[in-house]
Every structure is written in structure tokens, then in C-alpha cells.
């Protein structure tokens, strides 16, 4: 029996298996590839790979890569599924320990961002809050945190990176961008991470200004990983993605999975433009009014003095320099993020290969 059959119960590939068993409580299943790589399916949408002892891990690293934390953000799911199929078919050998995650399988089946609550607001322990008790997303967040924790513990001697892959609801003036979680005591990512983003054709980086409850913030704060939320394009239903637009991330991940050295960066992807968050817009309650039109693209600039939101107590106007909106979405519960206002970071933060 080949590895795919063993792990995926004769139902073809990882994605099909994950959709078929979206809400199942699967027990662990293990197999070994002909080259000695061990593969463990830890649960639905969760694969842990361990190369054989003695395999050179040239980059001295362990990787966590997740997609489908939002069920309708399908292109990164397809990219990861393709890479898993190649690996299981023996097209290349794995160079480093790897944890791959399809985040929210029931939402993937429904083709929705989430079913009950936004999974990407439940990390860093938020899943323990009483309002989320008993919800499947809270259980899933706990499981994902636990698996990542075990993976990090098992590979403490290696550098840990986590890439949480997403696509955005709106079009974007900057097609691909990464968000770098705020962790006290650090400001910008190390050079090798900047180079990797460019290798993946991600040319824009957004520095978060405070801790949050998203998945990448959990792995950065609690596991000490170099973590990023990576926005790779626009939300489309499964089968409607132009996967040619995702070749950059696909090739860059395959190279990292194989444990190969980073290629020389070259134009046009040799310069990372960095933004910083100026203000996080929160839904403050029933009197909250948001003045950004629904269909505006990410990174659309608003001139100084523009009123962005108001409620019965206060309002927010753009400061002395223009600010750009990212992730505008007023349809969120009270207390949650309606959008980010960002501005270019000091030029010294930009990164050139
Ligand atoms: O397009 C949108 O409005 C949302 C796209 C998305 O899901 N983004 C992530 C960003 C997470 C982070 O802040 O690192 C999210 O909102 O969960
Ligand atoms: Zn998302």
C-alpha cells in the first residue's frame, strides 16, 4: 500500500480526505515513505513529517505551514495539497521536520470564512474564554495550539518558522503582503525571513503594533517562532484560483521543505516595502459608524483629516500624514477588528537584498 492510501483511506489526496472527514474525530495514523521519512496524520487536516535520522537539515530548521484557517481562502489550501501530493509520491525528499495544517475543515466544506466564530481570533489562549465554550472552533484552536506546541518541543534545537497562509476578502493595491506579529523586544524580521518573503514574491511587510489572538501571534509569542500571516491574493472558491499567481509561494515553500539553500534574490523581487500599523479600528458597539466604502481595496490611502469611523463617544480622523486602510470589514462582532490603518515605516526598515 502506498503512503497516500495509508493516510487518506483510499480517497485520493489530503484535501479530499480532509473535506470528507471534516468533522470527524480521527485517531492518529502513521506511515513511512520509501526514503524513510515518517508521516503521521495527527487528526483531520494535520500532517507531521519527520525526515529519517541522518538526513542533512541544511537550514537547521523546523517548519509549520498552515492554510484554511479561513475556510473560503482556498488558493493556499490547493498549494499545500499539491506539495503534499508531490512529497508522498516521492518526487523530492524532505529536508526538515514539517507540520502542515488545514485549519478549519468544516468551514472549508461550507466554503465560508468560518461557521460559528472566526477561528483566527481564538489563539493565544482566547479559545478558553467562556463565550466560546463548547464551540467547535474553540476545540480546533486548542488542538492546533497543542500540536504546534508538541512540534516545537520536539525540535527545540532547530529554528522554528510558521507561515499562516491566507487570501484577502478585498482586492489589494499590494497583491501580496505579510503581517509580522508584535512581540515585545523585536522590531523587524531577520534578513533570511525578508529574503524568503521576496522569494515567495511577497513584496510588502506590515508590522503589527500590539499582541493579538491570531494564529501567527500565538506561534511567535508562545513558541518563539519567526511567524507571519501571509496574504497571497484574493478569496476565490475552490477550483476558481489562477494558481499561476501562487507559484512564488509554492516554489519558495518547496525549496524550504527540501532543505535547499536560498537562491540569490534578483529584480523585480529584491525590495521589501515595510508599513506599520497606526491604528486598529474596532467595532465599538451599536453606535459604531464606519466611513470607508465596503469595496475599497487594501492599501487605499486616505488623506490627512479624513474621518474613518465614529460612534456616540468619539471618532477617528487620519493624522498629519495619509494613512492606508487594510482589511476593511465592518461586519464583525462588537470588540473585533474592523480594519487597520497603516503608514510607511521609517525608510531604514525597508529591506533590500
Ligand atoms: O481580507 C480580510 O479582511 C481578512 C483576510 C484575513 O483573513 N486576514 C487575517 C490577518 C491576520 C493577522 O492580522 O495577522 C485575519 O483577519 O485573520
Ligand atoms: Zn484569512
> Using a 6 Å cutoff on CB, does residue 168 contact ligand 1?
yes
For 73, 108, 137, 290, 346, the CA distances from 113, given in Å and listed in that order, are 7, 8, 12, 21, 34
Class in CATH terms, 279-341: mainly beta
Q: Tell me what pLDDT residue 214 has.
A: 98
Active-site residue list = 231
Q: Give 238's Cβ-side CA count (13 Å radius).
A: 17
| Minimum-distance ligand 1 atom for the alpha carbon of 229 | 14
179 lines ligand 1 (CB under 6 A): yes
The reply to whether 279-341 shares the fold of 3-258 is no
Tell me how far the alpha carbon of residue 299 lies from the centroid of ligand 1, in angstroms.
14
CATH level 3 topology of 3-258:
Aminopeptidase (3.40.630)
For residue 6, what pLDDT is reported? 83
Q: What's the CA gap between 353 and 351, in Å, rounded?
A: 7
pLDDT of residue 242: 96
In the sheet that 307-310 helps form, which strands lie side by side, from edge to edge?
289-290, 307-310, 315-317
| pTM confidence score | 0.97
Q: Is the CB of 119 under 6 A from ligand 1?
A: no
Write down the pLDDT at residue 110: 98
* 11 appears as a binding residue in the annotation: no
| pLDDT at position 265 | 83
Is this prediction's ipTM beyond 0.85? yes
- Ligand 1 centroid, distance to 327 Cα (angstroms): 7
Tell me, using a 6 A CB cutoff, whether residue 297 lines ligand 1. Answer: no
Q: Which three cell numbers, joined as nine digits, stand for 37? A: 521519512
Residues 6+ apart with CB under 8 A from 82: 250
Q: Is 271 annotated as a binding residue?
A: no
Residue whose CB lies within 8 A of the most ligand 1 atoms, among 214, 216, 220, for a mutation test: 214
- CA-nearest residue, atom 14 of ligand 1: 229
The full set of domain ranges for the chain reads 3-258, 279-341
Note down pLDDT in tens along the chain; length 353 residues.
688 888 888 667 999 999 999 999 899 999 999 999 999 999 999 999 999 998 999 999 999 999 999 999 999 999 999 999 999 999 999 999 999 999 999 999 999 999 999 999 999 999 999 999 999 999 999 999 999 999 999 999 999 999 999 999 999 999 999 999 999 999 899 999 999 999 999 999 999 999 999 999 999 999 999 999 999 999 999 999 999 999 999 999 999 999 999 998 888 888 999 999 999 999 999 999 999 997 899 999 999 999 999 999 999 999 999 999 999 999 999 999 999 999 999 988 988 88
Is 70 assigned a ligand-binding role in the annotation?
Answer: yes
Amino acid at each position: 500500500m502506498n503512503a497516500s492510501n495509508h493516510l487518506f483511506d483510499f480517497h485520493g489526496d489530503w484535501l479530499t480526505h480532509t473535506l470528507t472527514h471534516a468533522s470527524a474525530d480521527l485517531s492518529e495514523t502513521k506511515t513511512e515513505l520509501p526514503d524513510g521519512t515518517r508521516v503521521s496524520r495527527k487528526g483531520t487536516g494535520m500532517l507531521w513529517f519527520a525526515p529519517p535520522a541522518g538526513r542533512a537539515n541544511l537550514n537547521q530548521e523546523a517548519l509549520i505551514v498552515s492554510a484554511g484557517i479561513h475556510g473560503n481562502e482556498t488558493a493556499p489550501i490547493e498549494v499545500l495539497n499539491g506539495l503534499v501530493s508531490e512529497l508522498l509520491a516521492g518526487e523530492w525528499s524532505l529536508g526538515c521536520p514539517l507540520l502542515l495544517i488545514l485549519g478549519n475543515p468544516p468551514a472549508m466544506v461550507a466554503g465560508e470564512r468560518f461557521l460559528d466564530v472566526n477561528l483566527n481570533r481564538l489563539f493565544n489562549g482566547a479559545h478558553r474564554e467562556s463565550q466560546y465554550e463548547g464551540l467547535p472552533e474553540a476545540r480546533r484552536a486548542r488542538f492546533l495550539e497543542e500540536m504546534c506546541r508538541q512540534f516545537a518541543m520536539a525540535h527545540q534545537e532547530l529554528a522554528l518558522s510558521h507561515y499562516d497562509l491566507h487570501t484577502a476578502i478585498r482586492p489589494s493595491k499590494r497583491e501580496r503582503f505579510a503581517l509580522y506579529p508584535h512581540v515585545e523586544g523585536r522590531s523587524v524580521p531577520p534578513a533570511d525571513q525578508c529574503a524568503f518573503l521576496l522569494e515567495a514574491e511577497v513584496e510588502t511587510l506590515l508590522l503589527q503594533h500590539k499582541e493579538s489572538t491570531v494564529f501567527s501571534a500565538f506561534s511567535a509569542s508562545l513558541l518563539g517562532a519567526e511567524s507571519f500571516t501571509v496574504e497571497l491574493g484574493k478569496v476565490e472558491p475552490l477550483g476558481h484560483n489562477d494558481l499561476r499567481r501562487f507559484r512564488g509561494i509554492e516554489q519558495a515553500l518547496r525549496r524550504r521543505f527540501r532543505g535547499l539553500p536560498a537562491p540569490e534574490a534578483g529584480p523585480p523581487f529584491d525590495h521589501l516595502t515595510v508599513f506599520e500599523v497606526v491604528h486598529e479600528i474596532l467595532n465599538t458597539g451599536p453606535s459604531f459608524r464606519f466611513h470607508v466604502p465596503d469595496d475599497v481595496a487594501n492599501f487605499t490611502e486616505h488623506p490627512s483629516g479624513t474621518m474613518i469611523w465614529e460612534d456616540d463617544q468619539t471618532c477617528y480622523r487620519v493624522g498629519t500624514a495619509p494613512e492606508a486602510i487594510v482589511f476593511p470589514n465592518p461586519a464583525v462582532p462588537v470588540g473585533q477588528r474592523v480594519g487597520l490603518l497603516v503608514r510607511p515605516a521609517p525608510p531604514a526598515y525597508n529591506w533590500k537584498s
